[in-house]
Amino acid sequence: MSVGIVAIDGPAGSGKSTVARAVAEQLGWSFLDTGAMYRAVTVEVLARGLDVRDEAAVGALAATLTLTTTPRVSVNGRDVQDEIRTDTINVAVSTVAANPLVRQAMVERQRAWAHDQPRGTVVEGRDITTVVFPDATLKVYLTASAEERARRRGDESARSIARRDEADSTRVTSPLRQANDALFIDTTARDADEVAGEIVQCLTNRLSS
Ligand code: CDP
């Protein structure tokens, strides 16, 4: 059973993945990119020709899929690592992720995964601090200016990012929002390793108090 959980949420391009990986590395803990899971489900939904808005069909499919995120992202054994960040997936993923049946299936997997980690784990996404692990050892909300977030996402247009942010924060089920007790960090002009250091320091203080 996992000895600790660092939960990190934030909008696209806020630095979640880079910072979460660095925190995991500094601590010797594992790391879970939950966005990759929603993206992988979306790849499979489109590959099967389903309508992304068909909640019942998409939800039923999500519940049956075998997903891996490390060392590479795969669905039912098929490597989809190179497909998950294409424009097609950027456009469709927020609709799939708004589906409550899909969320239920992903949250179950995320909790089971964390439970099985021999050491601690760092998990990042949109609902990790609010829904998946509301009792995490440390909760963090990362953000950055819209310009900086678009710059970091050279491969995705500012419009597409804004559309995804809007959909993710206004959906009914598990919208992106800052948990009251989350450590808030604006990463705009900051180096990822330095932000990771601040998070590790905060976790260390918490564990020793
Ligand atoms: O890397 P970026 O922040 O741009 O996106 P991501 O973390 O790969 O997540 C892709 C999409 O998955 C988001 O826009 C959300 O729609 C969805 N997502 C979610 O709903 N809940 C999560 N815990 C993680 C991602």
pLDDT per position as a tens digit, 160-190: 999 999 999 999 999 999 999 999 999 999 9
Please indicate, yes or no, whether the overall pTM of this predicted structure exceeds 0.85: yes
In the reported structure, the alpha carbon of residue 209 is separated from the centroid of ligand 1 by a whole-number distance in angstroms of: 33
- Specify the residue with its C-alpha closest to ligand 1, atom 25: 35
Q: Which residue matches tokens 């708004």? A: 98
In the reported structure, the alpha carbon of residue 35 is separated from the centroid of ligand 1 by a whole-number distance in angstroms of: 4
How crowded is residue 169: how many other Cβ atoms within 10 Å of its Cβ?
12
Ligand 1 mutation target, pool 38, 161, 164, most atoms within 8 A of CB: 38
- The DSSP secondary structure of 132-189, one letter per residue, reads I-TT-SEEEEEE--HHHHHHHTTTS-HHHHHHHHHHHHH-SSS-----TTSEEEE-TT
Whether 93 is in the pocket of ligand 1, judged by its Cβ within 6 Å, is yes
Whether 39 is in the pocket of ligand 1, judged by its Cβ within 6 Å, is yes
Atom of ligand 1 nearest to the CA of 161: 4
Residue 2 pLDDT level (bands cut at 50, 70, 90): low
Cα torsion 196, 37, 139, 95 to 10°: value is: 120
Q: How many angstroms separate the CA atoms of 105 and 157, rounded? A: 30
Residue 155 confidence (pLDDT): 84
Residue 1 above 80 pLDDT?
no
